[in-house]
A and B are shown apart, each in its own frame.
Chain A
């Protein structure tokens, strides 16, 4: 039997992030080829250069954070075609051990403190939700903007007591500097979705490939949920490739605290036939936050860039549906 020619698809992600693990697993398992795809990966250190690179068609599809997903739509017409996972627990406000203790006895001790965070990110979003939860206004604390690496340096050397981080930086700081999560986005009542994205014109030209991409992605989660121990081994390998080494316990925590979805759930979350979908609500809230930071001028309606068209294509095609739901 002659192999059908493979279609190339350019996939972008950020290394050593939980939601990117399915790309790695699918490659190890050689699932792309089964659907006639030949993936070509490019990786970016952060969401911003990633979506900026779409301007030069450096990639076709990929995964990213919800903030860059919104920015990607506003600047470059990037569409969100699915939710990679629930990142709410993966974005959190951390404190050094002493500060965490003080906070535990009196949350109001946060008032007047300096919080270092990466401005206009999902981490920022989670921190804002936490402030709200404890009845603090943005002006009750001093916010300093810096990159995740600088935050880690500042907190672990005692130059900052509070910081907004996302996984796996959270684990690094917990493990190597004894910092404590004092409030995650989840605790703050914020929902932080991760986004699966596609370039607007690629989606128009190659809808079939986009559907196949989603099918592969969902099969990978399906398999990992069914085979945790092997999944952890893969995760370790994947993280190390990205220069991250965290403990097995932290890796387990990744699965425990950051739910992912199967095809049926995805369809439900993205379903906007009865008004705003669940995902629309999440993204509208993120976009409103971004407007408040000045990153965007107006809040785009979520249903302009969120689409379940490709999820539906997967569901409608028997082969793809079975592929996506295959846990082996």
Chain B
């Protein structure tokens, strides 16, 4: 009856998790075996896996998968960090100052509907082959969630903390750095997690600009030469790295709110 309270012990949790993965993979095998999808477009899981491993050492499109991942990750990091470095202080400022809020919100509330990859032409025009292009596109994907979450988190910070700080003589900067920021960390991290996902997704778009390396580039190339196993290896790489980034951010959150009981 109280479904929420059902508690899985370790064994059950492992059991259900592996059942989930197993049925996913069986479903995949079934689709290929029954020819529901032409094999050309959906190879067997083991074939994808072996291609994936193969790509780690054998170059495709000039580089090994590692190199593609590394160059994607570098671009991602720049764009993502930029989004965080601008988004977090701006969000805090918007929460603290009505003027900043009224200035930024309308612009921002509409621009967030525009696809990051729609910025690709501008990225090419403004930055050419420079790293600025991909960064712009990733930034456009990653920026809105950090800003929104920081802002939402900060306006919901209990007023009592702000008042206490003001009583104790704190002014704007200390209010932002020592009160709003730490108090909104959970919300900020949630925003960063969404940002990381969107930024990482915008990457494929970004890699349409500089065609020399990157997981997105590799996938585009794989698609054009009907090598679905390469496309899917790219998907797996992107999935796994996305997962890794998420895990890292959750660790960061645990670390950042060490002062709370867990």
Query: Contact between B61 and A148 (Cβ–Cβ < 8 Å)?
Result: no
Bound-state CA distance A244–B60 (Å) is 9
Given contacts A49-B208, A149-B220, A242-B61, contact A56 B126 (CB under 8 A): yes
CB distance from A221 to the nearest CB of B (A): 23
Closest CB of chain A to B126's CB: distance in Å? 6
Contacting residues of chain B (203-231) with chain A, CB-CB under 8 angstroms: 208-212, 217-218, 220-226
Scan residues 34-73 of chain B and give those whose CB is less than 8 A from a CB of chain A. 38, 40-41, 60-62
Complex interface bits, B119-160 against A, C-beta within 8 A gives 1, otherwise 0: 011001111111000000000000000000000000000000
Q: How far is the CA of A52 from the CA of B209 in the complex (A)?
A: 10
Residues 124-168 (chain A) with a chain B CB within 8 angstroms: 148-149, 152-153, 156-157
Contact B220 A55 (CB under 8 A): no
A156–B37 Cα gap in the complex (Å)?
12
Set of chain A residues within 8 Å of B126, measured between Cβ atoms: 55-56
A243 on the B face (CB < 8 A): yes
- Majority-rule SS of A interface residues: helix
CA distance A45 to B217 in the complex (A): 9
Contacts of B223 in A (CB 8 A): 149, 152-153
Chain A residues with CB under 8 A of B125: 52-53, 55-56
Q: Is the CB of A157 within 8 A of B41?
A: yes
Measured between alpha carbons, how far is A158 from B125 in the docked complex, in Å? 37
Complex interface: chain B residues within 8 A of A169 (CB): 224
Rounded to whole angstroms, the CA-CA distance of A226 and B127 in the bound complex is: 41
Judge whether A243 and B212 touch: CB under 8 Å: no
**Separation in Å of the B213 CB from the closest CB of chain A?**
10
For the complex formed, measure the closest distance between the CB of B228 and the CB atoms of chain A, giving whole angstroms: 9
Whether A172 lies near B225 (C-beta < 8 A) is yes
Given known A-B contacts A55-B125, A56-B125, A148 and B224 have beta carbons under 8 A apart: yes
CB distance from A33 to the nearest CB of B (A): 22
Q: Which residues of B contact A148 (CB under 8 A)?
A: 224
Q: Size class of A's contact patch?
A: 20 to 34
Which residues from 74 to 107 on chain A have a C-beta closer than 8 Å to any C-beta of chain B? none
Cβ proximity bits A233-250 to B, threshold 8 Å, 1 near / 0 not: 000000001111100000
User: Closest CB-CB distance, B66 to chain A, in whole Å?
Assistant: 16
Interface residue A185 (Cβ < 8 Å from any Cβ of B): no
Instruction: Name the residue among A58, A152, A176 with the largest chain B CB count within 10 angstroms.
Output: A58
How far is A173 from B223 in the complex, measured between Cα atoms in Å? Answer: 12
Q: Say whether A56 contacts B211, CB under 8 Å.
A: no
Q: Is A194 interfacial (CB-CB < 8 Å)? A: no
Interface centre among A53, A153, A176 (most CB of B within 10 A): A53
Residue of B121, B124, B208 most packed against chain A (CB within 10 A): B124
Take A14-B211, A56-B130, A157-B38 as given contacts and tell me if A49 and B224 are in contact as well, using a CB distance cutoff of 8 Å.
Answer: no
Q: A55-B128, A56-B128 are in contact. Are A152 and B224 (CB under 8 A)?
A: yes
Interface residue A59 (Cβ < 8 Å from any Cβ of B): yes
CB of B225 within 8 A of CB of A243, answer yes
Closest 10 CB pairs of A and B: A58-B128, A243-B61, A243-B221, A56-B128, A53-B128, A52-B124, A45-B211, A58-B129, A149-B223, A149-B224
Which residues of B pack against A, CB within 8 Å? 38, 40-41, 60-62, 120-121, 124-130, 208-212, 217-218, 220-226
List 15 additional contacts besides A44-B209, A244-B221; criterion CB under 8 Å.
A43-B211, A44-B211, A45-B211, A49-B124, A52-B124, A52-B128, A149-B220, A149-B224, A152-B223, A156-B226, A172-B224, A172-B226, A242-B61, A243-B60, A243-B218
Would you mind naming 9 contact pairs between A and B with Cβ atoms under 8 Å apart?
Answer: A15-B211, A15-B212, A48-B124, A49-B209, A149-B223, A152-B226, A169-B224, A244-B221, A244-B224
